[in-house]
Structure formats: C-alpha cells, structure tokens
Amino acid sequence: MPELPEVETTKRGVQPHIQQQRITALVVRQAKLRWPVSPELQSLVGETILTVRRRAKYLLIDTAKGSIMVHLGMSGSLRVIEQGEPPGFHDHVDLELGKIALRYTDPRRFGCWLFVAPNASHELLSKLGPEPLEEDFQREPFAAALRATKRPIKQAIMDNKIVVGVGNIYANEALFMAKISPVRAASRVSVKRLNALYDAIRIVLAEAIEQGGTTLKDFVGSDGQPGYFKQSLHVYGRGGLDCTVCKQALKEIRLGGRSTVYCPNCQR
C-alpha cells in the first residue's frame, strides 16, 4: 500500500511534468473507485494546472476553478505518458494535457478522484492532524495527545488526528528507533521517550522520501509501474529474524489487525 513517502515521491515525480499544463480532456474508463469519480471534474477541462500539493496521503492538483483530489488507495499509481499510449486493463483515468497525459492505474480500485471547489476544503481533509515533516507538527502537542490516551502507542501514532501519514510500516520502524514497545499504553510512555518518538517519526519518513528520490524518473514513460522503492527496514516484514541491534529474535504480533514487529529486548 502506498504510504506517505510513496505519495510524496509520486508528487515529486509527476509535478514538474504536469504543472503549468492545460487540461485538454479527462477520460474516465472506470468511474467506480472507492467513491465514484466526481462528474464535476469535467468542468476543469480547459483549465491550467497551477500547483500540485500533498496533504496526508491525498494529492491535490489545483486549477483556478477547483482541484482534483487523488488518493492512491491500496494499489494505485500515477505516471506521465505520451498521449495515445493504449490503456491497460487497470488504467482507469487519464488526465490529458496536450501531448502528454497523467495516467491513473489501480488494480484494486480503492483510490479516488474527487472534485474540490476553489478555496474549499474537502470533508476528508478537514479533520486531519498536522503533517509530520512540517512546522505545524510540534513536540508538546504531540506528547500531550499521546499522554491523554490509553490506546497502545502504535495505534495512537497511526491516528490521523494526532499526526497524519504514519502508516503501518513507519509506525513499526519509528517505535523501534525510539525503543518503545508498540503495545505499551501511550499514556504510560515518558515525555522523554515521546520526544524520541517525535524525532524518530520525522527521521524514518524523511529517509524514506530521500530513498524515493532515486525513482523519480520511473514516473515518466510507459515501461511499467512507478518504482515504489525498496527500503532498508529494521523491523517491518522481519518477524522471527534477528534484531539489527541486539541480535535477538524479533517478535511479530497482530495489533489492531495490522502486522506488528518489534524487539522485546530493545523496545520497552
């Protein structure tokens, strides 16, 4: 599933090609995504793309008459193609931009293409917490929000109201870096350790985005899927293997239905 670093990498991959381009058509081959593709998006044909932004895991393609809000869902991807390239079975939407097009591919159809009116915020965005890599994510409010909940710390940091974009992979990795057990009640973690967690979240996400930078060229052209990059992960996907720090076996459990891997020796 694309997590925040993949969505940010997608933004950086497509932005230089589609920004300042005029929308010449919107071709919808399959409107049944997680929600139906908004018919209002057709009103943006003729408009110029002014900016491409990311908020949490949503991409916002802005024009003067409104924005396109894209989510990649479980399996979606975007790439820039030359106009006229024949669509594959899972290529559900093309945003045509003269000689090129932004093509949306989504085998599981769990993403979305929604319309947002100018200067409005979509309801899906209105209750989101701060962006982890931006200035509105601050230590004290983060620690206070966690100290106020008895939920396991891993579930608390994956709550979009506390901070957005900490998906399952990066929650596992950040807790390992901060040496905090994922099952510990958030209210029972010291402020000092919550500060370490704040730093760890920013570090693991920034490192993943940096690794994604090597794949930017994959977002252009027809040769397959954009590279959702392989990352060097310490715990996620490594249940039963040795801890990279203490060499003891990593433990894998289910927490809130999600795979959770941690070192019982290093993380308390």
> CA 47 to CA 4: how far, in whole Å?
28
For 43, the 3-state DSSP assignment is: helix
> CA 253 to CA 69: how far, in whole Å?
35
Is 32 annotated in the active site? no
Residue 102 or 250 having the CB closest to Zn ion:
250
Binding pattern to Zn ion, positions 195-234, x when CB under 5 A? ----------------------------------------
Is 29 annotated in the active site? no
For 26, the 3-state DSSP assignment is: strand
Q: Which of 12, 34, 147, 258 is catalytic?
A: 258
In angstroms, what is the minimal distance from the CB of 267 to Zn ion? 7
> CA 9 to CA 245: how far, in whole Å?
29
Q: Strands of 51-55's sheet, edge to edge? A: 51-55, 58-63, 66-71, 112-116
Instruction: Based on the shown chain and the rule CB under 5 A, indicate whether residue 178 belongs to the binding site for Zn ion.
Output: no
In angstroms, what is the minimal distance from the CB of 252 to Zn ion? 14
For 185, residues 6+ apart whose C-beta sits below 8 A from its C-beta are 149, 150, 151, 152, 153
Instruction: Based on the shown chain and the rule CB under 5 A, indicate whether residue 246 belongs to the binding site for Zn ion.
Output: yes
The residue nearest Zn ion at its CB is 243
Instruction: Based on the shown chain and the rule CB under 5 A, indicate whether residue 244 belongs to the binding site for Zn ion.
Output: no
Q: What is the DSSP letter of 23?
A: P
In angstroms, what is the minimal distance from the CB of 174 to Zn ion? 15
Segment interacting with Zn ion, rule: CB under 5 A, options 19-27, 174-182, 187-195, 243-251? 243-251
Count, residues in the chain? 268
- For the annotated catalytic residues, the residue numbers are 2-3, 57, 258
**Contact residues for Zn ion, defined by CB under 5 A:** 243, 245-246, 263, 265-266
